[in-house]
Amino acid sequence: MTAKEYNICVDRFSDRVYRFVLKSVKDKDKAHDIIQDSYEKMWINHENIDFEKSRSYLFSTAYHTMIDLFRKEKKKADFNSVKPDDFSHSEQYSDLNEILHRALNNLPEDQKSVILLRDYEGYSYEEIGEITGLNESQVKVYIYRARLYLKQYIGHMETVL
Protein backbone atom coordinates (compact mmCIF):
# COMPACT_ATOMS: atom_id res chain seq x y z
CA MET A 1 0.00 0.00 0.00
CA THR A 2 1.30 3.42 -0.90
CA ALA A 3 1.00 6.59 1.15
CA LYS A 4 -1.74 7.82 -1.19
CA GLU A 5 -3.70 4.59 -0.74
CA TYR A 6 -3.21 4.85 3.02
CA ASN A 7 -4.73 8.35 3.00
CA ILE A 8 -7.65 7.09 0.92
CA CYS A 9 -8.15 4.34 3.47
CA VAL A 10 -8.21 6.89 6.30
CA ASP A 11 -10.79 9.00 4.47
CA ARG A 12 -13.03 6.04 3.61
CA PHE A 13 -13.01 4.00 6.81
CA SER A 14 -12.21 6.22 9.79
CA ASP A 15 -15.85 7.03 10.59
CA ARG A 16 -16.99 3.41 10.26
CA VAL A 17 -14.19 2.05 12.41
CA TYR A 18 -14.78 4.75 15.00
CA ARG A 19 -18.49 3.91 15.25
CA PHE A 20 -17.65 0.21 15.51
CA VAL A 21 -15.20 0.76 18.36
CA LEU A 22 -17.33 3.38 20.13
CA LYS A 23 -20.31 1.01 20.30
CA SER A 24 -18.18 -1.54 22.11
CA VAL A 25 -16.07 0.74 24.30
CA LYS A 26 -18.68 3.43 25.07
CA ASP A 27 -15.95 5.97 25.81
CA LYS A 28 -14.99 8.55 23.20
CA ASP A 29 -11.43 9.03 24.44
CA LYS A 30 -10.68 5.30 24.52
CA ALA A 31 -12.25 4.91 21.08
CA HIS A 32 -10.02 7.67 19.70
CA ASP A 33 -6.95 6.00 21.22
CA ILE A 34 -7.87 2.64 19.73
CA ILE A 35 -8.43 4.14 16.29
CA GLN A 36 -5.15 6.03 16.47
CA ASP A 37 -3.28 2.86 17.51
CA SER A 38 -4.94 0.91 14.70
CA TYR A 39 -3.97 3.44 12.05
CA GLU A 40 -0.45 3.58 13.47
CA LYS A 41 -0.13 -0.21 13.21
CA MET A 42 -1.50 -0.03 9.69
CA TRP A 43 1.07 2.60 8.71
CA ILE A 44 3.92 0.62 10.24
CA ASN A 45 2.90 -2.39 8.11
CA HIS A 46 1.68 -0.46 5.06
CA GLU A 47 4.24 -2.09 2.76
CA ASN A 48 2.91 -5.56 3.61
CA ILE A 49 -0.78 -4.71 3.25
CA ASP A 50 -2.68 -5.01 0.00
CA PHE A 51 -4.91 -1.97 -0.59
CA GLU A 52 -7.84 -4.24 -1.46
CA LYS A 53 -7.62 -5.82 2.01
CA SER A 54 -6.97 -2.60 3.92
CA ARG A 55 -10.53 -2.37 5.27
CA SER A 56 -10.49 -5.84 6.80
CA TYR A 57 -6.97 -5.26 8.14
CA LEU A 58 -8.05 -2.02 9.77
CA PHE A 59 -11.19 -3.48 11.36
CA SER A 60 -9.41 -6.58 12.65
CA THR A 61 -6.55 -4.46 14.03
CA ALA A 62 -9.03 -2.16 15.79
CA TYR A 63 -10.89 -5.19 17.15
CA HIS A 64 -7.73 -6.80 18.54
CA THR A 65 -6.53 -3.51 20.01
CA MET A 66 -9.91 -3.12 21.70
CA ILE A 67 -9.76 -6.67 23.10
CA ASP A 68 -6.25 -6.00 24.44
CA LEU A 69 -7.57 -2.89 26.18
CA PHE A 70 -10.44 -4.85 27.73
CA ARG A 71 -8.05 -7.49 29.02
CA LYS A 72 -5.73 -4.88 30.47
CA GLU A 73 -8.57 -3.04 32.20
CA LYS A 74 -10.00 -6.28 33.54
CA LYS A 75 -6.80 -6.83 35.51
CA LYS A 76 -6.99 -3.40 37.08
CA ALA A 77 -9.09 -2.90 40.17
CA ASP A 78 -10.93 0.24 41.08
CA PHE A 79 -8.96 1.74 43.94
CA ASN A 80 -11.99 3.34 45.52
CA SER A 81 -13.89 0.05 45.70
CA VAL A 82 -11.32 -1.57 48.00
CA LYS A 83 -12.24 -1.42 51.68
CA PRO A 84 -9.29 -1.66 54.08
CA ASP A 85 -11.49 -3.41 56.66
CA ASP A 86 -11.87 -6.36 54.31
CA PHE A 87 -8.13 -7.02 54.35
CA SER A 88 -7.22 -6.36 57.94
CA HIS A 89 -8.11 -7.66 61.36
CA SER A 90 -7.23 -6.90 64.92
CA GLU A 91 -8.64 -9.86 66.84
CA GLN A 92 -5.48 -11.86 67.48
CA TYR A 93 -1.79 -12.17 66.67
CA SER A 94 -0.92 -14.46 63.80
CA ASP A 95 2.51 -14.64 62.24
CA LEU A 96 2.10 -16.79 59.17
CA ASN A 97 5.77 -16.42 58.35
CA GLU A 98 6.70 -17.96 61.69
CA ILE A 99 4.26 -20.84 61.22
CA LEU A 100 5.55 -21.49 57.71
CA HIS A 101 9.19 -21.54 58.88
CA ARG A 102 8.31 -23.98 61.65
CA ALA A 103 6.63 -26.24 59.11
CA LEU A 104 9.63 -25.99 56.77
CA ASN A 105 12.00 -26.93 59.58
CA ASN A 106 10.00 -30.12 60.21
CA LEU A 107 10.50 -31.30 56.63
CA PRO A 108 13.21 -33.83 55.73
CA GLU A 109 16.29 -32.07 54.35
CA ASP A 110 15.76 -33.20 50.73
CA GLN A 111 12.17 -31.98 50.66
CA LYS A 112 13.09 -28.75 52.39
CA SER A 113 15.85 -28.04 49.86
CA VAL A 114 13.73 -28.66 46.79
CA ILE A 115 10.74 -26.70 48.09
CA LEU A 116 12.97 -23.73 48.92
CA LEU A 117 14.67 -23.85 45.53
CA ARG A 118 11.35 -24.11 43.70
CA ASP A 119 9.01 -21.81 45.63
CA TYR A 120 11.41 -19.30 47.16
CA GLU A 121 14.13 -19.08 44.53
CA GLY A 122 12.06 -19.90 41.43
CA TYR A 123 14.30 -22.55 39.87
CA SER A 124 12.89 -24.99 37.30
CA TYR A 125 12.66 -28.71 38.02
CA GLU A 126 15.62 -29.33 35.72
CA GLU A 127 17.78 -26.73 37.46
CA ILE A 128 16.85 -28.12 40.88
CA GLY A 129 17.87 -31.56 39.67
CA GLU A 130 21.25 -30.24 38.59
CA ILE A 131 21.77 -28.45 41.89
CA THR A 132 20.72 -31.34 44.13
CA GLY A 133 21.86 -34.25 41.99
CA LEU A 134 18.33 -35.69 41.81
CA ASN A 135 16.50 -36.55 38.63
CA GLU A 136 13.48 -34.51 37.57
CA SER A 137 10.87 -37.04 38.68
CA GLN A 138 12.45 -37.27 42.15
CA VAL A 139 12.38 -33.48 42.40
CA LYS A 140 8.68 -33.42 41.49
CA VAL A 141 7.87 -36.13 44.03
CA TYR A 142 9.78 -34.36 46.81
CA ILE A 143 8.07 -31.06 46.03
CA TYR A 144 4.66 -32.73 45.99
CA ARG A 145 5.28 -34.44 49.32
CA ALA A 146 6.63 -31.26 50.90
CA ARG A 147 3.64 -29.23 49.76
CA LEU A 148 1.27 -31.90 50.99
CA TYR A 149 2.97 -31.87 54.40
CA LEU A 150 2.92 -28.06 54.58
CA LYS A 151 -0.76 -28.06 53.69
CA GLN A 152 -1.54 -30.57 56.41
CA TYR A 153 0.66 -28.80 58.96
CA ILE A 154 -0.82 -25.39 58.39
CA GLY A 155 -4.34 -26.70 57.92
CA HIS A 156 -7.10 -24.38 56.95
CA MET A 157 -6.28 -20.68 56.83
CA GLU A 158 -9.30 -19.94 59.02
CA THR A 159 -7.74 -21.87 61.91
CA VAL A 160 -4.41 -20.07 61.51
CA LEU A 161 -5.97 -16.62 61.35
| Same domain? 63 vs 39 | yes
- 7's CB contacts (< 8 A; 6+ apart) are none
3-state secondary structure (DSSP) of residue 96: helix
- Within a domain: 86: no
* pLDDT tens column, 125-159: 988 888 888 899 999 999 999 989 888 887 755 55
**pTM score:** 0.48
Tell me, yes or no, whether 83 lies in a domain: no
The string of pLDDT tens digits covering residues 45-95 is: 888 888 888 888 888 888 888 888 888 887 776 666 666 665 555 555 557
Nearest to 150, CA basis, from 104, 98, 86: 104
**103 within 8 A of 154, measured Cβ to Cβ:** yes
What is the distance between the alpha carbons of residues 66 and 22, in angstroms, rounded to a whole number?
10
Claim to verify: residue 100 and residue 153 sit in the same structural domain: yes
CA distance 161 to 156: 9
